Amino acid sequence: MTQKQSYQINQKQLQRLALTQSMKQAILVLQTNLLDLTDYVQDLSMANPLFDVNPTISKQEVEISTALENKSIERQTIYDYLLEQVHLTMRQTPLKDVVIKLIDRLDEHGYLLLSDQELLKDLEINRVQLMDAKELLYNLDPPGVGAQSLHECLTLQLEFKKATKNSTLALQMLEYCYDELLNHSWLKIAQKLQKSRTEIDTAFKLIQTLSPYPYVSDYGKSDYIIPELIVKNNHGHLSLEVTKYGYPNLVFAEETYDELKKNTDLEVKAYIKNKYQEYQALKTNLDHRIQTIAMIGRCIVQAQSSFLLGETQELHPLLLRDVAQKLGVSISTVSRTINGKYLQTDSGIFELKFFFTKRSNGNANQSVDQVKRKISDLIEQENPQHPLSDQKIVELLSKKGIKIARRTVSKYREELGIMSSSKRKI
């Protein structure tokens, strides 16, 4: 009797991005502020004999020179960081709302505090919705976020790494030999997975590189800022300058490189090739960082010229999407670039994200700031014995070509700290 073999192909689509080491470094370099970028680059130079770092300014100098000018920076929490990614990458669906609720239930390290049973009861959703929402949460940065245990945290981090023979074995160790792994029972693991002790040791070294917490902030701890862009008002003409003050300067060790290249040992040759590629990748990422910040800076200056010239105190509508489309880059690239980067103007120092403001609903040419200013102006000019109601403000704004709902007027008025008409009446 002939046996027939049956093959079944199951296709599953996951929203997961496999990041190479170079891509991860490019993202880190792009989103890190100058002071901490110098620390990061210096750490890399300690492990690479082919280059040194010549910082143009030290942290001590910055602290002395900026202590009187800079206030402590309010830290972006993991919740802010995750919500920013959600709003940038997910469409408005009921599932997006579930992901946001899951983020609210994370601890400060990114662990999900409740069990699946508790979440089902707490969120009043079914198991399929929960699984789908958790999968979307797992796809956010940092890898491992949303894990409910150390085991799951390590597994999620490994799944984000490029699939190799070593990473596959490490995943098998976590999945099938977790208890033995905790007890360092290497021989049992080797026998169970039918692998050599050397292969097990190599895979375990990979596991050791993982973080026990999804979110651990190594960089971005500086309380002082250096503006990377300077805009100057030259008699009504704005000019943008990229300052390299404080920027880490790579010094290539050419003599060392030439000397080591002469070595005929294959391992030495491979080592030097690898270190040279690391240097080139870092140099490329640093150059790309400057170029991206400069491009976004030019878009900001163009969009907010009236504000920068001192002609108005309101910002024009400017979305991340607008800049991303204009430059041909992703929205996440713009988001990472503006976070923690500063622009120096004649009126002070502003974080780049300050210049991005939402459009008022239904008013493509009016930002929320501009509509709020018009509401404030109307109230300032009202008769205090007969103050304007929110509905009357709606009607007056409509005559100016601004279509807005009464509840939106109420919301903006409250955000401006202005009382209702009944409480304003004298």
Identify any residues that bridge with 233 across adjacent strands, giving them in sequence order. Answer: 238
Inter-axis angle of helices 165-176 and 197-208, nearest 10: 90
Inter-axis angle of helices 116-123 and 127-138, nearest 10: 110
CB distance 126 to 120 below 8 Å: yes
- Gap between the Cα atoms of 112 and 163, Å rounded: 26
- Gap between the Cα atoms of 39 and 53, Å rounded: 10
Region 361-424: CATH code? 1.10.10.60
Task: Measure Cα distances from 264 to 56, 186, 268, 278 in Å.
Answer: 37, 37, 8, 21
* Buried-exposed string 297-322: b where 16+ CB fall within 10 A, e elsewhere: bbbbbebbbebbeeeeebbbbbbbeb
What is the pTM for the complete model shown? Answer: 0.51
CB distance 279 to 251 below 8 Å: no
Place of tokens 């891509």: 23
Mean of pLDDT values over 46-54:
86
Inter-axis angle of helices 165-176 and 150-160, nearest 10: 160
- Greater pLDDT, 80 or 3: 80
Identify any residues that bridge with 199 across adjacent strands, giving them in sequence order. Answer: none
pLDDT for 67 equals: 41
The two beta strands, 342-345 and 348-351, are antiparallel
pLDDT for 360 equals: 54
- Other beta carbons less than 10 A from residue 324's beta carbon: 19
Report residue 396 as tokens.
């007056």
What band does 64 get if pLDDT is binned at 50, 70 and 90? very low
- Gap between the Cα atoms of 166 and 160, Å rounded: 14
* Buried-exposed string 388-403: b where 16+ CB fall within 10 A, e elsewhere: bebebbbeebeeeebe
What band does 294 get if pLDDT is binned at 50, 70 and 90? very high
CB distance 96 to 125 below 8 Å: no
Residue 51 above 70 pLDDT?
yes
Mean confidence (pLDDT) of the chain: 79
The DSSP letter of residue 200 is: H
- Gap between the Cα atoms of 192 and 172, Å rounded: 10
Residue 246 above 80 pLDDT?
no
- Greater pLDDT, 211 or 99: 99
pLDDT for 216 equals: 60
Residue 282's Cβ-count burial label (10 Å; 0-12, 13-18, 19+) is buried
What band does 366 get if pLDDT is binned at 50, 70 and 90? low
- Gap between the Cα atoms of 100 and 79, Å rounded: 9
Report residue 309 as tokens.
């010239």
315 backbone dihedrals φ, ψ, rounded to 5°:
-90, 145
Residue 280 above 90 pLDDT?
yes
Ranges of each domain in the chain:
16-67+222-357, 78-208, 361-424
- Gap between the Cα atoms of 23 and 18, Å rounded: 9
Mean of pLDDT values over 339-350:
83
Mean of pLDDT values over 69-84:
63
- Gap between the Cα atoms of 79 and 112, Å rounded: 12
pLDDT for 291 equals: 92
> Tell me, what amino acid is at 391?
Q
pLDDT for 288 equals: 92
Query: 126-166: per-residue pLDDT in tens?
Result: 989 889 889 888 888 788 888 888 888 888 888 877 778 88
